[in-house]
Amino acid sequence: MNNKTILLIEDNPDDEVLTLRALRNNHILNDVTVAHDGQEALDYFFGEGAAANTAPAVVLLDLKLPKVDGLEVLRRIRADQRTCLQPVVVLTSSREEQDIVNSYRLGANSYIRKPVDFAQFMEAVRQLGLYWLVLNEPAPVQRK
């Protein structure tokens, strides 16, 4: 595996721990930056000192977030020229049609529902890591 960064946007500490554990157990050893709410996530891209942050290989975005919700974060990422090509995977609890449709409409690259069964969750994270960190070729960096 390479050393690309993963940005995990997740407010639930349990889910954060479990996601990190799933990544680790699947031997995905990339740097993981965690944003605990929508604002932190936006700060990562657009805040002070954001220029120092590397563009993540993939953003794992939860939808239900405090302050700024996941869909709004997605909309802002897509709205900004610097980040509009950033791969974003929605990783959330719900399978509500409206969530799925809205996510894709706002330009999500993928939508994955977190299964309750941890074994299934492990498998999902494994495939996700394999795909986005290994197989996927991201767009060239657009930053000035």
> Would you count residue 123 as binding another protein (CB under 8 A)?
no
Distance CA 28, CA 21 (A): 10
Single residue of 79, 84, 104, 117 touching another protein by CB under 8 A: 117
**# of chain residues touching another protein (CB under 8 A):** 23
Single residue of 31, 47, 66, 95 touching another protein by CB under 8 A: 95
Nearer to another protein, 56 or 70 (CB): 70
As a whole number of Å, the CA-based R_g of the chain is: 14
CB 95 to another protein: min, Å: 7
> Would you count residue 102 as binding another protein (CB under 8 A)?
no
Measured over the CA atoms of residue 4, residue 133, residue 129 and residue 34, the dihedral's sign is: positive
Residues 30-89, interacting with another protein (CB under 8 A): 63-64
Single residue of 48, 119, 135, 137 touching another protein by CB under 8 A: 119
Cα dihedral 104, 126, 86, 134 in deg (nearest 10): -130
> Would you count residue 18 as binding another protein (CB under 8 A)?
yes
Residue 120: what residue type? Q
Distance CA 112, CA 88 (A): 11
Q: Which residues contact residue 120 at a Cβ distance below 8 angstroms, ignoring those fewer than 6 apart?
A: none
Nearer to another protein, 119 or 135 (CB): 119
Burial 11-26 (b: 16+ CB within 10 A, else e): beeebbebbbebbeeb
> Would you count residue 105 as binding another protein (CB under 8 A)?
no
Question: What does the binding site for another protein look like in residue numbers (CB under 8 A)?
Answer: 12, 14-15, 17-18, 21, 25, 63-64, 92-96, 98-99, 114-119, 121
